[in-house]
Amino acid sequence: MAAVRDETATARTIVIDVPGWPGHLAGQHVDVRLTAEDGYSAERSYSIASAPPDGQARSQTVELTVQRLPDGEVSPYLTQTLQVGYPLELRGPIGGWFVWDPDGPAAAAPVLLVAGGSGVVPLMAMIRERAAVGSHTPFRLIYSVRDPTALLYGDELVRRERAGDGLEVRYVYTRTAPAGSGQPTGRINAALIASAGWPPEESPAMFACGPTGFVEAAADLLVRGGQNPGAIKTERFGPTGGKA
Amino acid sequence: MGIVSPGFSGRRRSAGEKLPPGQYLVNDFPVLSAGPTPRVDTGRWELRITTETGQVHRWDWAAFQALPAEEPIVDIHCVTKWSKLGTHWRGVSLDTLLDGVETSAGFATAKSYGGYTTNLPLADLVDGQAWVAFDFDHEPLDPEHGGPARLLVPHLYFWKSAKWLQGIDLSDHDTPGFWESLGYHNYGDPWREQRYWGD
């Protein structure tokens, strides 16, 4: 591990130097394997948060943002024990479905990203990739979090949205909205998806990621709103949803 | 043995020999799907088995429910590393469905409402190894877990157990399905940890 950044009280970004990293697509994940001295090992999948490294760059780094789970086996190690300089065993990149490829056939279609909690991580890789390659594909992000302290990448999202080059972010707070904002709290609903998303006629590409209940709700709302089910890609996150 | 992670001891559980390599136990039932959950009304539901010669065998929901059902209790293993032991299902054995289906095909592709596909050797669907399941834990199978009916092939990673099953095409040729075309192993034996291409 080359560097570390705390994102929230319970989430940390770890920057890993991976010699010979073959590159990845935004949205892909890696498998992380931890091994104890007696050979016992545990593996989990984590989404890559960083845009694919530039082919010219000398250092090949991969960033993972890990949300610490209270009852986790791997996430407490990655967020609390792992120190700069420690080795880490990775496998990847993995997954060829939940990806946004700026060189792919659908790269010009407007994009809707729907994030629940730490489900924003692979979607952030897409936002960063869009910026890194100078894409003008319009992106809209609906980002549902418990409260402002749980926001990942809060400052970066504000900065990127202010750049005014086609990224729009709508925040949804389920428990506590920012003090003084007057914004109501609640969950994503049909009206919000309609106003913060794209009309079906625009044939958007849609990516929803978060805990199972959130992703099920988001995908159902999109389908009921007239979107093409085949254009909605989902990834479940959570304590046992595979990735967390 | 892999690279030792300084300071890692892990949280061992006593699942013993029932847990394939790289898997961990869960008690809930995680959901993994590539897209929205299709809502399939049993009034319009139909299961179709199509042979390599194009012969089609069909069951509507009533005909399917009239077949003798079994109650397998099996361990399931997801490629995303969770395993769930002793899951209780009710379903129709593929042996029952294939009884009277004339075929010499070597391969099968399961097809789902919603467009998902997965491929497996026909030999892995017969001899009491696979079911079309419609109850989980004594309740009708939830749509998010593949209801009204899903394939259940517990000896392979769970992506082979196609949700929202619509049909099975039999063929002389093996054609990679959805995940099998996107980097996941063509066969997917959890005991040999066949997760990805090259495993």
B124 falls within a domain: yes
Q: Is A212 on the interface with B (CB under 8 A)?
A: yes
H-state helical runs in A77-119? none
Q: Look at B183 and A45 and tell me if their CB atoms are within 8 Å.
A: no
pLDDT of the residue at A72: 87
Which residues span the domain enclosing A54? 3-94
Q: Look at A35 and B28 and tell me if their CB atoms are within 8 Å.
A: no
A200 falls within a domain: yes
B179 falls within a domain: yes
- H/E stretch holding A158: helix A154-162
Same domain, A70 and A126: no
- Residue B79's alpha-carbon distances to A88, A94, B20, B107, in angstroms, are 21, 12, 11, 22
pLDDT in tens, B9-37: 887 765 566 889 989 888 777 777 789 99
Burial label, A240 (beta-carbon count in 10 A; 0-12, 13-18, 19+): buried
pLDDT of the residue at B15: 58
A242 falls within a domain: no
- Cβ neighbours of B37 in A, within 8 Å: 216, 219-220
Residue B110: which CATH number? 3.90.420.10
Q: Which of B165, B144, B177 is nearest to B97 (CA)?
A: B165
Residue A137: which CATH number? 3.40.50.80
Q: Tell me the pairing of strands A3-6 and A11-17.
A: antiparallel
pLDDT in tens, B130-143: 999 999 999 999 99
- Cβ neighbours of A81 in B, within 8 Å: 6-8
A244 falls within a domain: no
Residue A16 and residue A149: Cα distance in Å, rounded?
A: 25
pLDDT of the residue at B27: 77
Burial label, B17 (beta-carbon count in 10 A; 0-12, 13-18, 19+): exposed
pLDDT in tens, B37-81: 999 999 999 999 999 999 999 999 999 999 999 999 999 999 988
Q: Is B8 on the interface with A (CB under 8 A)?
A: yes
pLDDT of the residue at B120: 98
Same domain, A142 and A90: no
Q: Is A29 on the interface with B (CB under 8 A)?
A: no
pLDDT of the residue at A243: 35
pLDDT of the residue at B13: 64
pLDDT of the residue at B28: 74
Q: Tell me the pairing of strands B82-93 and B24-25.
A: parallel
The count of domains in chain B is 1
- B66 contacts: CB under 8 Å, gap ≥ 6: none
CA distance to partner chain A, nearest, from residue B81 (Å): 7
pLDDT of the residue at A216: 93
Same domain, A120 and A87: no
Q: Best of A34, A207, A227 to disrupt the B interface by mutation (most B CBs within 10 Å)?
A: A34
Q: Is A95 on the interface with B (CB under 8 A)?
A: yes
Residue A71: which CATH number? 2.40.30.10
CA torsion angle for A183, A187, A193, A195 (degrees, to 10)?
A: -20
pLDDT of the residue at A242: 37
One digit per residue, the tens of pLDDT, for chain A of length 244 reads 999 999 999 999 999 999 889 899 999 999 999 999 998 899 889 999 999 887 655 568 999 999 998 888 999 999 999 999 999 999 999 988 999 999 998 889 999 999 999 999 999 999 999 999 999 999 999 999 999 999 999 999 999 999 999 999 999 999 999 998 889 999 999 999 999 999 999 999 999 999 989 999 999 999 999 999 999 999 987 544 433 2
Size of interface A-B (CB pairs under 8 A): 117
pLDDT in tens, B142-198: 999 999 999 999 999 999 999 999 999 999 999 999 999 999 999 999 999 999 999
Q: Is B44 on the interface with A (CB under 8 A)?
A: no
Residue B76 and residue B60: Cα distance in Å, rounded?
A: 28
Same domain, A58 and A143: no
In the DSSP assignment, the letter for residue A179 is T
Q: Is A147 on the interface with B (CB under 8 A)?
A: no
Same domain, A220 and A126: yes
Q: How many CB atoms lie within 10 A of CB B99?
A: 9
Q: Best of B1, B14, B28, B31 to disrupt the A interface by mutation (most A CBs within 10 Å)?
A: B31
Q: Which of A35, A10, A148 is nearest to A91 (CA)?
A: A35
Q: Is a pLDDT exceeding 60 seen at residue B96?
A: yes
- Residue B64's alpha-carbon distances to A211, B44, B67, B143, in angstroms, are 34, 13, 6, 18
The count of domains in chain A is 2
CA distance to partner chain B, nearest, from residue A121 (Å): 17
Same domain, A54 and A129: no
Same domain, A225 and A122: yes
